[in-house]
Structure 1
Amino acid sequence: MPEIIAPSGLPARRSLAVSALRDYAAGATAGPNQNFRPRPRSADFDIRRAVANIVGRCRDQAKNNPSISGAIKRIVNNVVRFGIRPQFQFRSDGRIDIAANRAWEALFSRWARYADLTGKKSYWKMQRLGLAQVWPDGGFFLHRTWSKKSIPGVPDLRIEMLERDHLDRTVDGTLPNGNQARGGREFDDDGQVIAYHLFRNHPGDYQAGRSGLHSERIPASEIIDVWDQDWISQTMPVPWLAAVVIEAYNLAEFRDYSMIAAKLETAFGMFIKSNYPDLGHPGLGLQQVPGQAAASEWPTTWADMPDYIEPGRIQSIPFGTDIVFPSNTRPGPQYEPFVRESRRQQAVGLGMSYEAYAADYTAASYSSARSGSLEERLSYQGMQFFLDEEMNQKVAAWFIEAAWLAGLNPTPMPGFRFDPYPYLEAVTPQNPGWSWVDPYKDGQASELKIKNALSNHRREAAGQGIDFDENLDELIAIEQRLLELDQIRAERAKLQNPIQGAPSNGPTE
């Protein structure tokens, strides 16, 4: 029978074999991974089913796992530090109006002290708290409210921070008004959120059941929903700790069990070993002589052997026995490599270097630590971008609108009523930066970039979290004060030293 030739010119069997080799290995349905078959469902399907369990586990690790808790604090310190401050970019005659922008920034800084509705936190503290909340919860809400206690010269805008637990997830499906709801969020036909259904009180609070739980419909214009989207079909957040929480928990359990085993081994001081355990022979200790006082009251039989021997005591033991001291082998030689590898995996999921996450620089060279630090900063900058886009720019827009409504705008805002967007968008963030790893070399590189027109002074200053204009004004003010000091010193020198060439009243030769 003639062999069938495929269109490719190869025999059919060989063609099928070659085609099979070209399939994706990840799609193989046989072999050791044949049971690895997750279903391609929508992001919301998977999140809705597991989010409560994920959040509970992430919160537990954020509270009780020292490595995770410390990592979150370190991230917040690097990303937010003392606050991400706005830089207003209002213009006059097509040029940046520095004086006007300084006035706006001063007004914002004053308002930031009273930004929290409860009066407990400044806006800078709210930034820190919000970023820390994203890791175990996936996000948070900012609710725009207005203060009933006005402060002269300060806009009445106040912000209420809400955990995502306030969202009424039972509001789901088609609503009476025809809109679609997904887990407490109400959408229009374009897929934009138009309202949130939120509980006034936290449903998990110990007083929640006393007044009952009733959600309220709040327009989306009054809510800033801060969360990060990972999938196109995703409409609800996932905690940032989701990918590392199981690894962190398993390592914590391993360390606890290793600690218990080490404690048990340490608890045993010695063992009495005998080839005749059933024989109650008396010991070879000092024996009592008839007619004399007892030379010893120490027990010398198995039944009388003590469970504890205080330091300095001389104890006799039964005949034919040996003392065996246990060897403490916990934690074993594989403990440290295992812990290091687990923490390395967690550091990858957290966007940190292993050395920073584990506080372990014992095996790091200068070049590797420097490379890890620079790579880590890129991760921090990504988080700064997230906060700026999801939180800070929107809050700044609320502030500008509130200042205009209260008549507190430092500069005229013509046309704001009809087209506010040019004003609301005239804000850029001043993110915290980082000092140079190698000041001499990094300084030379910065100077070279400015010289070759690859950067400028403002960008290089912003890279270290410095406002170039403010720094320049401070330098000018310092130089002026130094000039005044030089003048004072010169005048003092004239008074203390006689002028050369002046007539003298003393004797002459």
Structure 2
Amino acid sequence: MAAATREGLGGWVRRRVGGWAQRVGRALASASDDPFVSPAGRPVNAPYRTTGNGPRSRNWRTGGYGPNAALDYSLPGLVRQSRELMRQNPDAVVVQSRLVSNVVGVGIIPELADPVVRAVWVAWTAVCMVDGTMSLYGAQALAVAAVVEAGEALVRFRVIDDGLSPVPLRLQVLEAEYLVTSKNEETAGGGYIRHGIEFDAEGRRVAYWLYPCHPDDVTPGGYNNTPIRVPAGEILHIYRARRPGQIRGVPWITPILDLLKDLADYKDAELVRKKVAALYAVFVKRPYPEGMDAEQLARVLAAVKTDDDGAEGELEPGTMWFLDPGEEVEFSEPADLGGQYAEFMKQQYRSIAAAVGLLYEQVTGDYANGNDRLYRAAFNEFRRNIRQIQHHMVIFQMCRPILARFSLLAKLKSVIPDEFDAAAVPWVPEAWPYINPVQDVAAKVAAIRAGIDTRSRVAGESGHSAADIDEENARDQNRATGLGLVYDTNAKQVDDKGAKQPVDPPQEEAA
């Protein structure tokens, strides 16, 4: 206490407490999994737990990959693995089918107000493909399916005047393998080619290097598959970038490639185990011949043994197997999940659904344990993800450029008005089905009546145009009136209770 008096009580407390804190800090740092050394030379905890120097952190090996460097060696392998699963794995097929049906549906359609433009467009969409096998909206589904499977798709513009339409624009959907991934080099003027895509010095795409034929397909006459340079204005590159600067897409099932394969192997093994367990066979054990022991019998059997003896056989229901003396049958007894199998599979399918942005019920078709309120909340989140894909990828990368090129060629052929502005045309995806039709429609009607929404916006959300709906309603009502028919959908004739509306008396002419 005398020392405390000489240096002052405050200084003594600070010195004692400070020393205690340093000792505690050193003890904690030495016991920590992630000891670091501060700039002052004192051991401290790592600023982030997973980046420390402890044994747990050292076992987490990470690599620094840019948005495109990770694809240099992995992209071809990822595409091959994804295509393999799409050919043979039913779960992968379901994922692709559900994504395509929700992103595209029957088609994402432009809302064209001009009847002339609309008529030319409708006629062109039916003949727009080079091979003539599908309409424009089928091409949308084909392109999105290719993006899900391989991460990207290409649409090439072709000018072909075949007389099928006054607009000589034709489209060709190409798979990702057409891009020459191995072509990486510098070009004149400071540009470069990366993964088969040519950029100028400013980083703008100027060309794509493509194989004339699919490199993994045998095409008659296409054996000289020398890459060709196609201007970027003739190619639409459709993919979903996950990182800034990413120039190629990866298969959408990349995070679950191993899960899908392992789960398929597990289900196959479980099916075989159940199949074997369901077999019923009889095994007959025979005694040793009289006066002969096991060693003597073995010598006799060895002398008369043929090539077929001892061959592996397959169990079949109702069979009877006779065993040689001394032989016994032993079956393996693998662990049986029993009642845990269903729950285990649910967890795996939930992981698969979450990884690709789908709902568990959509992947499995299992709607047994849900209710409409929970499903509505989950489905609203799912809709946000699908709308993002529709507007940021399909509409921006495919639909708008196609309409712009159609408009350019149609104006050159003088088949649509010069004042038509393709960039101002809204695109309308297919309508979402109602989860609860009565409640959903009532809520929309209430929102329109309250002035917090409009008929045009509600019609657009349902995949239709308010102008088209009005025109169709007018035609229907005029036709019904002309035939003397009364429907309660005509507010001029019947009110919302089904009663006839009073007929307005004729107005007297002013004197």
Which of 94, 111, 114 is the matching residue for 1:87? 111
Deviations 1:342-376 (A, max 9, x none): 11100001111101111112222333233223322
Three-state SS of the structure 1 residue aligned to 2:101 is helix
CA distance change for structure 1 residues 155 and 317 in 2, over 3 Å: closer, same or farther?
closer
CA distance change for structure 1 residues 247 and 327 in 2, over 3 Å: closer, same or farther?
closer
- Residue aligning to 1:462: 460
- Matched residue pairs, number? 440
CA distance change for structure 1 residues 427 and 310 in 2, over 3 Å: closer, same or farther?
closer
Residues 124-143 of structure 1: matches in 2 within 5 Å? Answer: 124-143=137-156
Amino acid at match of 2:195: G
Q: CA contact under 8 A between 1:138 and 1:238: conserved in structure 2?
A: yes
Give me the whole-angstrom Cα distance separating, in 2, the residues matched to 1:402 and 1:365.
52
Deviation (angstroms), 1:172: 1.0
CA distance change for structure 1 residues 111 and 309 in 2, over 3 Å: closer, same or farther?
closer
Give me the whole-angstrom Cα distance separating, in 2, the residues matched to 1:149 and 1:406.
14
- Residue aligning to 1:284: none
Q: CA RMSD in A?
A: 3.7
CA distance change for structure 1 residues 9 and 379 in 2, over 3 Å: closer, same or farther?
farther
The question of 1:76 aligning with 2:97 is answered: no
- Residue aligning to 1:52: 76
Amino acid at match of 1:215: P
Which of 219, 226, 231 is the matching residue for 2:238? 226
Amino acid at match of 2:91: S
- Residue aligning to 1:214: 226
Amino acid at match of 2:412: L
Deviations 1:211-245 (A, max 9, x none): 32211111111111111111113122111111122
Which of 36, 40, 43 is the matching residue for 2:60? 36
41-50 vs 326-335, which moves further: 326-335
Give me the whole-angstrom Cα distance separating, in 1, the residues matched to 2:329 and 2:202.
81
CA distance change for structure 1 residues 13 and 279 in 2, over 3 Å: closer, same or farther?
same
Q: CA contact under 8 A between 1:6 and 1:15: conserved in structure 2?
A: no
Which of 115, 119, 134 is the matching residue for 1:106? 119
- Residue aligning to 2:382: 376
CA distance change for structure 1 residues 123 and 35 in 2, over 3 Å: closer, same or farther?
same
Give me the whole-angstrom Cα distance separating, in 1, the residues matched to 2:103 and 2:261.
25
Deviation (angstroms), 1:137: 0.8
CA distance change for structure 1 residues 236 and 75 in 2, over 3 Å: closer, same or farther?
closer
Deviation (angstroms), 1:204: 1.0
Residues 212-361 of structure 1: matches in 2 within 5 Å? Answer: 212-271=224-283, 279=288, 332-361=338-367
Deviation (angstroms), 1:162: 1.1
- Residue aligning to 1:190: 202
Which of 373, 383, 402 is the matching residue for 2:409? 402
The question of 1:61 aligning with 2:85 is answered: yes
Three-state SS of the structure 2 residue aligned to 1:236 is coil
- Residue aligning to 2:130: 117
Three-state SS of the structure 2 residue aligned to 1:333 is helix
Deviation (angstroms), 1:163: 1.0
Give me the whole-angstrom Cα distance separating, in 2, the residues matched to 1:38 and 1:487.
74
CA distance change for structure 1 residues 146 and 280 in 2, over 3 Å: closer, same or farther?
same
Give me the whole-angstrom Cα distance separating, in 2, the residues matched to 1:7 and 1:312.
85
CA distance change for structure 1 residues 35 and 450 in 2, over 3 Å: closer, same or farther?
same
Three-state SS of the structure 2 residue aligned to 1:450 is helix
Q: CA contact under 8 A between 1:270 and 1:325: conserved in structure 2?
A: no
Amino acid at match of 1:211: Y
19-28 vs 384-393, which moves further: 19-28
Give me the whole-angstrom Cα distance separating, in 1, the residues matched to 2:201 and 2:16.
51
Deviation (angstroms), 1:448: 2.4
- Residue aligning to 1:391: 398
231-240 vs 262-271, which moves further: 262-271
171-180 vs 63-72, which moves further: 171-180
CA distance change for structure 1 residues 264 and 188 in 2, over 3 Å: closer, same or farther?
same
Deviation (angstroms), 1:185: 0.8
CA distance change for structure 1 residues 425 and 210 in 2, over 3 Å: closer, same or farther?
closer
Which of 481, 484, 488 is the matching residue for 1:483? 481
Q: CA contact under 8 A between 2:197 and 2:208: conserved in structure 1?
A: yes
Residues 154-193 of structure 1: matches in 2 within 5 Å? Answer: 154-176=166-188, 178-193=190-205
Deviation (angstroms), 1:68: 1.6
Give me the whole-angstrom Cα distance separating, in 2, the residues matched to 1:360 and 1:280.
60
